[in-house]
Every structure is written in structure tokens, then in C-alpha cells.
Amino acid sequence: MMISPEKKEILENIGLIALDLDKTLLTSAGLTENSKECLEEAIRRGYQVVVATGRPFSALPAGVFDINGLDYVICSNGAHIIDLSTGYYLYSDYLSEEASIWCRDRLKALGYHIEVFSGGKAYTDKERYEKCRNGVGVVEGAAYVVRTRIPVDDIWEVWNSHLGEIENINIIFEDQEDKKRVWEELKSCESIGFTVTSSTSYNLEIGGENTSKANALSQLSSISGIPLERVMSFGDSPNDMAMIMESGFGVAVDNALPEVKEVSDYVTASNEDEGVAKAIRLLLFKEDTI
């Protein structure tokens, strides 16, 4: 893939590497040793490495905490920036109570399974959790749900008890036409004070009015002193697109959706083929010619 002279110049000045996790950095088996070593080498070379994920903090895989020198994580699609050395939340963006109430009432009427993220934890209704745990029906991501979700009897009660501290709402679909229809409806209502995006083929995610990985990176720029034009970001899904577009250099993995590839400056190998590590070694370490 050809890289313009302007983008090659940007590559010479990259200071921060922002990484989506699922289907970008992680393979189906998790974080590989080769990718971990590559990221640690990048940190030793002076690059700051930041994880930028849709997962809540409690759902981060153990391998992330094993990356020596990793200082910050962006969680819940940009709702939080967390300093790993202290555990402090350096930045947070929640749904306003007004937006939260509107979304609650609309989603309750629609009747889809939802998950509520608050306090770095993810809650799901017990019915869906049990289906995932017992392998009832075809539930995509079932093992991940069982590992990372807290089952509750009444998800709406959880929503009400965290009304002003909701960082993300995950809506689960079994039918793509349903997802498309609801996405269009919610997008048309974002002026109420929320954002809607997607990270998998079967979900929509609602966040606060300013919640996005791109906005969190902008906030982190103020903390780290590294402007967005010196950021290289990696992703695969719609919730990565703004981050990729607003970074100085955006990279899509080969398994990314077509629209993500279209807005990227470079397409690397797939997540299963360790595309993140390959791009870093090629484009930043210059272990081969561009």
C-alpha cells in the first residue's frame, strides 16, 4: 500500500501508538508473546503505547497488564482514561441523566437485550448470561460474556441505580436489519446528548455526548503533551473510525470493515496474523522498506 510523502513525514514523528484490542491487537487466543515484545520494544524506543478499547476496565484481558511500560488505558469507547500506575481515572465522560432517562425508556420499549457499563463493570440480564453459560442457541461472544459480565435479575434496576454514572450501554441484536433500523433511529436522536457506535456485527453502543476514542485521545494529548498529529492508531470497527481519522496516521488491520480501511492511511495484516506488530516493525522500526 502506497504511503504519501506527507504521511511518511508524519511517521518520522510519531510519539504515541493507540491500539484497539478485540480483532485488532488480540488474536483469538489473546495477546501473543510476539506482539507483547513488540510493544515493549516500542516503549523502550520512546513511543508511548495506549490501549483504546470498548471494553470496561474490569473486562481488560490479563495480558494488557503484563505489558511493561504501559501507562494508560482508554476504556468503554473513550468514557475513561485510567492511569495504570495509580488506578486513577484521569478523565471520564458519562451519559447525562436526561440522555440516560431517554435512552432507558426507548430501549425498554424496544425490548432488546442490553448491558449496562458503570464503575468499570459490565452488567447483563441473567437470562442472556445463562444462555451464554449453558450454550443455549447460537450466542456470538458467549464465552466472553461469561468471563466478563455480572448477571443481574433486573437490568433496568441497575440502570436506575447508576443513572448519573453510566459510561456505556451495549444493545445486543440477533437480526442485522433490526440493528440497522435502531442505529438509524438513535443516530437521528443524538442531539439529546448521547453518541451511538458499534464494535461488533451484533451490537450497538451508546455513550455520553462527547464519548469516543478520538475525544479520549485528544484529552490524553493534553496530559502527555503528544498532539494527535503525532499519534498512530490501529482499529477494525466503526468505534475506531474517528480515532483513525483524527490521528496523524491511521492503520486498519486486514480483517477490518471496508469503511474502516477506506479512512485509514495503511492496511496491515489481520489480527490473527499479528498485523499490529508487523506494522510497527515495518513503519516505525524500519525493519523493512516501505
In order, the DSSP letters of 140-189 are: TTHHHHHHHEEEES-HHHHHHHTTT---EEEEE-S-HHHHHHHHHHHHTT
Q: What is the pTM of this model?
A: 0.94
Q: Are residues 128 and 150 in the same domain?
A: yes
Q: What is the mean pLDDT of the chain?
A: 95
Average pLDDT over residues 36-65: 97
Q: Are residues 136 and 220 in the same domain?
A: no
Whether the CB-CB separation of 173 and 202 falls below 8 Å is answered with yes
Q: Are residues 81 and 220 in the same domain?
A: yes
Among 183, 208, 233, the domain-final residue is: 208
Q: Are residues 197 and 109 in the same domain?
A: yes
CATH of the domain at 151: 3.30.1240.10
User: Is residue 290 very low, low, confident or very high in pLDDT (cuts 50, 70, 90)?
Assistant: very low
Residue type, 127: E
Whether residue 289 lies inside any domain: the answer is: no
Q: Are residues 106 and 75 in the same domain?
A: no
Total count of domains within the chain: 2
Nearest to 185 by CA among 289, 118, 277, 102: 102
Flag whether pLDDT at 264 surpasses 50. Answer: yes
Whether residue 290 lies inside any domain: the answer is: no
Whether residue 88 lies inside any domain: the answer is: yes
Flag whether pLDDT at 140 surpasses 70. Answer: no
Q: Are residues 165 and 87 in the same domain?
A: no
Q: Are residues 186 and 230 in the same domain?
A: no
Flag whether pLDDT at 2 surpasses 90. Answer: no
CATH of the domain at 39: 3.40.50.1000
**What is the model's pLDDT at position 141?**
79
Q: Are residues 78 and 222 in the same domain?
A: yes
Q: Are residues 204 and 223 in the same domain?
A: no
Say what percent of the chain tops pLDDT 90.
91
Calculate the CA 133 to chain-centre distance.
Answer: 24
pLDDT, greater one: 135 or 157:
157
* Interval 145-182: pLDDT, tens: 999 999 999 999 999 999 999 999 999 998 999 999 99
Q: Are residues 103 and 86 in the same domain?
A: no
Calculate the CA 214 to chain-centre distance.
Answer: 10
Nearest to 89 by CA among 225, 219, 247: 219
The boundaries of the domain holding residue 83 are: 5-92+212-284
Q: E strands of 28-104, at which residues?
A: 48-52, 72-75, 80-83, 89-92
Per DSSP, helices labelled H in 204-281 are 213-224, 238-246, 258-262, 275-279
Q: Are residues 106 and 202 in the same domain?
A: yes
Q: Are residues 203 and 220 in the same domain?
A: no
**What is the model's pLDDT at position 288?**
76
**What is the model's pLDDT at position 174?**
87
**What is the model's pLDDT at position 237?**
97
Residue with cell 420499549: 109
Q: What's the CA gap between 54 and 41, in Å, rounded?
A: 25
Q: 175 CB contacts (<8 Å, ≥6 apart)?
A: none
**What is the model's pLDDT at position 135?**
80
* Interval 238-258: pLDDT, tens: 999 999 999 999 999 999 999
Average pLDDT over residues 178-192: 96
Flag whether pLDDT at 139 surpasses 90. Answer: no
